[in-house]
Amino acid sequence: MTPDPIFRSESARMNTAAEARFRIQSPPDTHRAVKVIDLDTASASEITRLLGEVDEADLVLMLVSAGADAEAAARIGEACSARRVMTHTVIVRASAVSDEALSRTLAQVRPWSLMVVVVNDEDYVDDILRSFR
Amino acid sequence: MLRTDQNDLLTRTGPDTPFGRMFRCYWIPALLAEELPENDCPPVRVKLLSERLIAFRDTEGRYGLMDEFCAHRGISLWFGRNEECGLRCPYHGWKYDVTGQCVDMPNEPEHSAFAKKVKLKSYPLVERGGVLWTYMGPFESQPPLPEYEFAMVPPAQTYTSKRWQECNWMQAMEGGIDSSHVSFLHRGDLHTDPLFKGARGNQYNLGDMRPVFEVVESEGGLYIGARRNAEDGNYYWRITQWVMPSYTMIPPRGTHSVHGHFWIPIDDENCWAWSFDYHPTRDLTDAELAAMRSGKGIHAKVDANYRPLANKDNDYLMDRAAQKAGRTYSGIEGFAMQDASLQESMGPVVDRAKETLVSTDSGIIMARQKLLRAIKAFTEQGVTPPGVALDHQRVRSAAVVLPPDQPFKDAAREALIAHPGVAPASV
């Protein structure tokens, strides 16, 4: 007799919707510490304060407008690199911003960002943060 | 992570769901042309977006795609007789043409007009590039036929396969834009697979195992750039294209063909993984075609029903010795089943409320958010979603070396557009 396909293998048994009900119901509580800094508006003192908090961070997210000065990314990135903290930069590009202006910002953030996202709408920032929980 | 309601929104594509209605804005691949090889050949059962359909090719060579079940007593027309320009139900002889119109009702009085009042729901089915495409939305909103480059080049320059994947389409599609898994899951195959090996770009991959990613919005979806160090301070970029809702193009390697996927829902727990390889300027060689047909590259060995020979019933032919020796990273052979085995293990529909994403998942995060925004705009304001316009479809992936401060979207602008007869940008 041919065995029921569902019993042919471990993978077949375990990949069903019925079995999915028995997967762990609670995700791990990572208590991930995310520090967000808006490079467009952050003052020197705010950046200095953030540098003091990098030790406790799991992720530092830098927010900057395309064409804006992102020189502070180097200070932040250096501190994160020394402490092995993930750096993530979101560049918001308004439709009128030129390629050259975006290039300038990219040149400042790329050496210090392990992930760069270029978006046309600032609303994505909240969605990205919520995705990290 | 996603909230449960967002996860439901993205994973449900039946006819009465918000995403189901939006998915029906697009032409989607329905069958390989080889599945209906000649006039009056056997009909083929098709399930798409949770709808049971029957496809057939009539005596005049016209293609039809319609409700699988006879309007009379609900018999599957897969049992039907494909004859004299119509598909005839074997139970009582009702016969339908390719538009779903009942044209003969032999158990009614001769010359009865009742048959004219019976029409099965049907959709257009059109061959392009060896693929039979369908559009399942409202007639008045039907867009022009799709113009993805793989389907537009001469037949000798393109090859397409499909395989059944036993999980929700989003799980499969997200794998297609998850660039960071390549350095792990597929590392054993880059130098041995005949459709990948030998490219100079492979050396950049080898020399820098920690790529840095950039995700940039495009008109039709996203560019996902993976950046590695090259000579003289330059960057080697591999730029993946994602065009909404489910078209992905993998960056090419050297002079190899260009490849990518479509991920099409069968229902909410199964999908078709379509895989294509093409070259814009030359015929595929016999060796390349033989490799693709034997399941190399992004293709898979499948049975007559397009189910992979390595599947969950045989534990995907797991080879622990190969895993231990490093011949394959996961113990599963071939790019396609390396991906599918893991994605199916997530369950039929993964619960994204329980996942723990990190920064390198930003391509996936952005794709979800763009889809959610498009569904909202389409549902609330009737906005045509990205990916319907032909300009959004005429794109290419690229592999390029650029100066360190260049935005790849702009510096490689022409390389990311499909120009007929122009070689791909590849390293």
Q: What tokens does B127 get?
A: 């061959």
| SS percent in chain A: helix, strand, coil, step 5 | 45, 20, 35
pLDDT tens, position by position, B311-349: 999 999 999 999 999 899 999 999 999 999 999 999 999
- In this prediction, residue A1 carries a pLDDT of 45
User: Does the distance separating the beta carbons of A116 and B212 come in below 8 Å?
Assistant: yes
> Please, are residues B312 and B344 in contact by the beta-carbon 8 Å criterion?
yes
**Chain A residues with CB-CB distance to B347 below 8 A:** 15-17, 19-20, 23
Question: Is the backbone peptide bond immediately before B144 cis, with ω within 30 degrees of 0?
Answer: no
Q: What tokens does B65 get?
A: 């795609």
Measured in whole angstroms, the distance separating CA B108 from the mean position of its chain's CA atoms is 44
| pLDDT(A126) > 70 | yes
A2 and chain B: CB distance < 8 Å anywhere?
A: no
pLDDT tens, position by position, B171-222: 999 999 987 888 788 877 777 788 877 777 777 776 777 788 999 999 999 9
Please provide the DSSP assignment of B240-288 as one string.
EEEETTTEEEEPP-TTSPEEEEEEEEEETTEEEEEEEEE-SSSPPPHHH
For B319-342, b/e burial (b = at least 16 CB within 10 A) is: eeebeeeeebbbbbbbbbbbbbbb
Q: What tokens does B42 get?
A: 């056997």
Handedness of CA A18, A20, A22, A26 (dihedral sign): negative
H runs (alpha helix) in chain A? 10-14, 17-20, 44-53, 72-83, 99-109, 124-132
Q: Tell me which H or E stretch contains B170.
A: helix B169-176
| pLDDT(A60) > 80 | yes
pLDDT tens, position by position, B253-266: 989 999 999 999 99
Of residues B170, B209, B336, B357, the one with CA closest to residue B260: B336
DSSP-based three-state secondary structure for B301? coil
- B-facing residues of A in 62-121 (CB < 8 A) are 86, 88, 99, 102-104, 106-107, 110, 113-120
Q: Which of A20, A30, A110 faces B348 most closely, judged by CB atoms?
A: A20
B4 and chain A: CB distance < 8 Å anywhere?
A: no
Of residues B152, B179, B145, B177, the one with CA closest to residue B367: B177
- In this prediction, residue B189 carries a pLDDT of 77
pLDDT tens, position by position, B119-175: 999 999 999 999 999 999 999 999 999 999 999 999 999 999 999 999 999 999 999
A9 and chain B: CB distance < 8 Å anywhere?
A: yes
| pLDDT(B21) > 80 | yes
Q: What tokens does B385 get?
A: 């979603």
Average pLDDT, chain A: 89
**Chain B residues with CB-CB distance to A17 below 8 A:** 269, 347-349
Bridging pattern class, strands B258-267 and B221-229? unpaired
Place of tokens 């499969």: B172
Segment B272-297 shows an average pLDDT of 97
Q: Output the pTM of the full model.
A: 0.94
Q: Which of B217, B360, B368 faces A115 most closely, judged by CB atoms?
A: B360
Q: What tokens does B228 get?
A: 């590695």
**Chain B residues with CB-CB distance to A4 below 8 A:** none
Distance in Å, alpha carbon of A36 to nearest chain B alpha carbon? 14
Q: What tokens does B401 get?
A: 């070396």
B9 and chain A: CB distance < 8 Å anywhere?
A: no
CA dihedral B327, B332, B334, B337 (to 10 degrees): -160
> Please, are residues B97 and B64 in contact by the beta-carbon 8 Å criterion?
yes
Q: Which of A15, A30, A107 faces B356 most closely, judged by CB atoms?
A: A30
ipTM (interface predicted TM): 0.91
B269 and chain A: CB distance < 8 Å anywhere?
A: yes
DSSP state of B76: B
Average pLDDT, chain B: 94
- Which residue, among B357, B365, B413, would best test binding to A if mutated, counting the most A CBs under 10 Å from its CB? B365
pLDDT tens, position by position, B83-111: 999 999 999 999 999 999 999 999 999 88
Other Cβ atoms closer than 10 A to B138: 10
**Nearest residue on chain B to A17, judged by CA atoms?**
B348
Q: Which of A23, A86, A128 faces B365 most closely, judged by CB atoms?
A: A128
**Chain B residues with CB-CB distance to A7 below 8 A:** none
- Distance in angstroms (rounded) separating the CA atoms of residues B260 and B278: 9
Segment B276-290 shows an average pLDDT of 97
- Distance in angstroms (rounded) separating the CA atoms of residues B125 and B55: 8
Distance in Å, alpha carbon of A45 to nearest chain B alpha carbon? 27
- Distance in angstroms (rounded) separating the CA atoms of residues B123 and B355: 38
**Chain B residues with CB-CB distance to A22 below 8 A:** none
**In B115-203, where do the E strands start and end?**
122-123, 125-128, 131-135, 158-165
Q: What tokens does B278 get?
A: 């093409």
